[in-house]
Structure 1
Amino acid sequence: MTDAYDPNNKEHQKLKAEIEIGNGLPDVRSTTKCLEALKEAGFEVIWDKDLALDSPLPWYLPLDTSHFSLSSFRLTTAGRFVTRNLVKALEFVKLAPEGSLRVQDFLEKAADGLTVAGKKEIFTPMFFFLAKKPGGGSGGYHSD
C-alpha cells in the first residue's frame, strides 16, 4: 500500500481486502512499513522508488474493464461475461470442479480492487528498493 492508503477509510480497507484475498496475500504493508522493517532488520536502504509514478502506462491497465484490446478481451466486461458463463457451463456439466464460479468471482473482485486502488494510487505493485546489510562483505552467505 502506498502512503496515500488511509487505514481508517472504509473504502480503502475494502480495496485492500479484495487485493489480499484475490491474490492470496497476507496483510499487505505500506511502503513506509516495508522500509522501516528493512532498517529494523539491520539493512541500509540505499534507494527506493515507486516506479509506477513514472510509468507511461498505468500498471492496472490490463485489469481495467473499461479498456479494450484484443489481447485483454477476457478482462473486459464482455470478456468476463463470456468467461463467467463458460465457467458456469463447465461446472454444470462437471468438466470444471465445483466452486470454479466462486473462484472466478473473487478473482474478478481482486482485479476490480486492484484497478480502483491503482487509480486512487493507494496500491502499487511497482515499489522497488535496494538495500544492503552493513558489514556483510562482498555478498554470498554471511553469518554473524
Structure 2
Amino acid sequence: MASHRPPNYNEVRLHNYVRHWNRTPDLTVVDHDAVAWATEEERQERQKKYGQVARDYYDLTSPILEQGWFSSFHFAPMVPGLSIEESMIAYEQLYAKMARLKKGMRVLDLGCGVGGPARVIAAETGANIVGLTNSDWHVERGTAMTKKAGLDHLITFVKGDYMKLPFPDESFDAAYSIEALCYAPDPILAYREIQRVLKPGAPFTLHDFAMTEKFDESIPEHRKVRNWIEFGNGMTKLAWVPSMREALKGAGFEVIREEDVQLRSAPMPWYFAPAGNIWWAWRTPGWTDFWKVFKMWMPFRNVVQNIYRLRYYVGLEPKESSSLFDMMWYCPKGCATGAAMGIFTPMYLFICEKPAKKKA
C-alpha cells in the first residue's frame, strides 16, 4: 500500500498547523476536543493570524490535495453523465460566463491555488488572469503547471494578501474568487480592497464556503460542525450568508444575483464523494471516481487508519503519519455533514458589480 504522504512531506508541517488549534503541547497528534469545541476566544486569537494559519494549512495539504483530488481545490455540483472532474470543469466554464469574462480583459483571481480554475477559464475565454495567493508553493507549482499547459501567456501568479492587495486603484476589468475569500477574518475589508482595484462598472463574482441561513450559533451541534470545517480547511472565521450579503453591499458592490449552487447538483448531491457514499459512486462514469469515493468510505478509512497506527507502534511510521490522516479527514467529514444538515454550502454564489461612476 502506497503511503498517503507526499514525497516531500515533513512532520514539522503538521506541527506548524495543529499548533493553531491544540490546547496540549503535544503537536504530533490532533486535539480533537479543542477542534470540535473551540471557544470564541480561541477563534478570535486565530483570526489575528489568519494569513499564517492559511499558509501553514496549504503548505501541509496542497501536495496531498493535488494528489488525491485535482488541481482545482474546490467543490462543484455534479452534472448528469459526467465524472467529478468533468463536472468541475463544466462548472468552471459556466462560472466564466456568469462572471462575464471575455478575451482581452485583465482579471484578478483571488486565492488562485495552483491555478486549476484559472487555466480552464483562460482557455475558455482568452482573458488575461492574474492569480493571487499567499503561498510560495502555489506560485511555484501554478507557474510550472501553467507553462506546461501552454497558457503562461495568459496567466501570471503573484504572492500577496487580498486584505491588502498589491495593485493600484482601478487596475482590473473584472475579479473573481472560488472558495478563497472564506479565509478572510473580516470579509468587508477584503471586499473593499477588491472594489478599490476594480474599474467602475466591473463585475466581481464570488463562489465561496459559507454557513447558510439555517445555521444557528446557539445550537452546539451547529457550532461543532462549523469548527470541523474551519479546522479541516485552514479557516479562522467561516462567514454566514446574511453577513456576506451585507458586507458586499457595505463595501459598495451592487449584488445582482445570488444562489446556492450546490442545489444544482444532480442526480446525486455534490457531497456524495467527501461523504464516502459508495452507493452513489457507481452512478458516476469511470472507476477513477469510484476509487476516490471508496477511499473516503468510513469502513475503508478505518482500516487504513488502523494500519498506519500499527506501523507507528512497530516503528515503521512516525506518529505524525496517523495524525495527518486524521487531520485530513476533517475537511470531507465537516463539509459533507454540514451540507447534509443544510447549515453549510461550499458554493454560495454572489454575482456583483462595482457601480459605474456617475456622469458630471
Partner of 1:93: 316
Of 342, 349, 356, the residue aligned with 1:121 is: 342
Q: For structure 1, list consecutive stretches of 5 or more residues without a partner in the other structure.
A: 137-144
* Paired letter, 1:117: G
Q: How many residues align?
A: 135
Give the drift of 1:28: 0.5
For the residues of structure 1 that align with 2:303 and 2:258, how far apart are their CA atoms? 41
Partner of 2:329: 108
Q: For structure 2, list consecutive stretches of 5 or more residues without a partner in the other structure.
A: 1-210, 282-289
Partner of 1:15: 225
Listed one character per residue, the Cα deviations across residues 84-128 of structure 1 (whole Å, up to 9, x for unaligned) are 13433554414xx54221222233244222222111110001111
Give the drift of 1:5: 0.5
For the residues of structure 2 that align with 1:48 and 1:104, how far apart are their CA atoms? 36
Give the drift of 1:33: 1.0
CA RMSD of superposed structures (Å):
2.1
Indicate the structure with greater strand content: 2
Give the drift of 1:76: 0.6
Partner of 1:140: none
For CA contacts below 8 A with separation 6 or more, give which structure has more relative contact order.
1
* Paired letter, 1:79: F
Q: Compute the TM-score of the two structures, normalised by the length of structure 1.
A: 0.81
For the residues of structure 1 that align with 2:238 and 2:338, how far apart are their CA atoms? 13
* Paired letter, 1:120: M
Of 291, 297, 303, the residue aligned with 1:82 is: 303
Is 1:132 the counterpart of 2:353? The answer is yes
For the residues of structure 2 that align with 1:86 and 1:34, how far apart are their CA atoms? 43
SS at match of 2:223: helix
For the residues of structure 1 that align with 2:235 and 2:244, how far apart are their CA atoms? 15
* Paired letter, 2:328: L
User: Aligned residues: percent identity?
Assistant: 32
Partners of 2:260 and 2:349 within 8 A in 1: yes
Partners of 1:74 and 1:83 within 8 A in 2: no
Partner of 1:59: 270
